[in-house]
Amino acid sequence: MSNPYQAYPSNPPTSGMAVASMVTGIVGWLLELIFICANLFFGTVSLGVLLLCTVPLLCIPPITWLIAVITGHIANARINAGQATGSGMAIAGLVMGYIGVVTTLILFFLFLVLPALGFGLSLPIIDELMREFQIY
């Protein structure tokens, strides 16, 4: 005779790492959007105000994207092992994180590395910094 009080097997919980990956990816892109809007809205202001307001917004999104990539890979490993669910959130975090990291590397190369070598594109803010610190 079967036991009427037998428990049903439970599903694994949603991976906290998958949620963290998705959230940090979204936060990184929202901060990047704030940076872009602030630059469009304020335009050219004094260099000190520009550096105080925008440098933190330039540095934080790449860090959040790296966190999104790392936590997304950890979440995928746990999900593939059957310990958790939430692969969609992990993949969303990985996609946002990788796109952000690749975009950051491309922009870093175009606007900092090539101009420092004497080639390529340059931003007015970088030109002003170079003149102020008499780099060239």
For residues 99 and 28, the answer to whether their CB atoms sit within 8 Å is no
Task: Kindly compute the dihedral angle of the four CA atoms of residues 98, 100, 102, 108, in this order, to the nearest 10 degrees.
Answer: -150
Question: For the chain, what percent of residues have pLDDT higher than 70?
Answer: 72
Distance, CA of 129 to CA of 48 (rounded, Å): 10
Per-residue pLDDT tens for 25-34? 999 999 888 8
Regarding predicted confidence, which is higher, 42 or 15? 15
Per-residue pLDDT tens for 100-112? 999 988 888 877 7
Q: What is the DSSP letter of 2?
A: -
Strand-pair partners of 14: 85
Distance, CA of 33 to CA of 95 (rounded, Å): 17
